[in-house]
Amino acid sequence: LKNLNLWNTKVHGDICCLANCKELENLNLWNTKVHGDISVLANCQHLIGLALNGTKVSGAMTQGLFDVLCGVETLEMKGTAFEFAAFVIAKYKESGGRLTELTGVPEDIKGSIDVLAFVGADLESVDLKGCSNISGDICSFANCKELKTLELSRTKVQGDICCLANCKELENLNLWN
């Protein structure tokens, strides 16, 4: 199976049923009732088009999934738990794989900051102020050794502040509600 388009249908079920579709190039589940762990897509090394808008797909970002999503040319995740990840991946690709600044994030975007663990090595400035639908563990910034400014006010980010011990360049941290 190379192309699967179930756009705007009443199809439902767990996305894990696609685990053996390793040749999949285009997957459109937009506005279906599909759910399950997105990490199954890490097996889809040939994926170039992905639309999951309006689905209930969930799970955590993994290195394998991140690598696959970075290779996707058309990545549509609006309204899913991976909307923020898609935004970050687009910025990462625009930067040529060296993301130093993450600003201009729409306040209504949703998702987890866990994707930043894969792009954070060069991050110097992150501004998510007012992004009240952004959540995750502050430990996603643990390896951001160049980080100087971290603005997380009015987000749902939480975790152990000790995770930032390696962020020796950190000058400004705001995490208030």
Amino acid, single-letter form, for residue 126: V
**Backbone angles phi and psi of 56, in degrees to 5:** -110, 30
The residues near 92 (Cβ < 8 Å, ≥ 6 apart) are: 70, 99, 119
Cα 94 versus chain centre, distance: 15
Distance CA 112, CA 59 (A): 10
**Backbone angles phi and psi of 42, in degrees to 5:** -65, -20
Distance CA 136, CA 148 (A): 20
Element (H, E) at 85: helix 83-94
What is the Cβ-side half-sphere exposure of residue 53, based on CA atoms within 13 angstroms?
11
Which tokens go with 14?
Answer: 């767990």
**CA dihedral defined by 99, 101, 106, 111, rounded to 10 degrees?**
50
**Would you state the pLDDT for residue 17?**
95
Per-residue confidence in pLDDT tens, the chain, 177 aa: 999 999 999 999 999 999 999 999 999 999 999 999 999 999 999 999 999 999 999 999 999 999 999 999 999 999 999 999 999 999 999 999 999 999 999 999 999 999 999 998 999 999 999 999 999 999 999 999 999 999 999 999 999 999 999 999 999 999 998
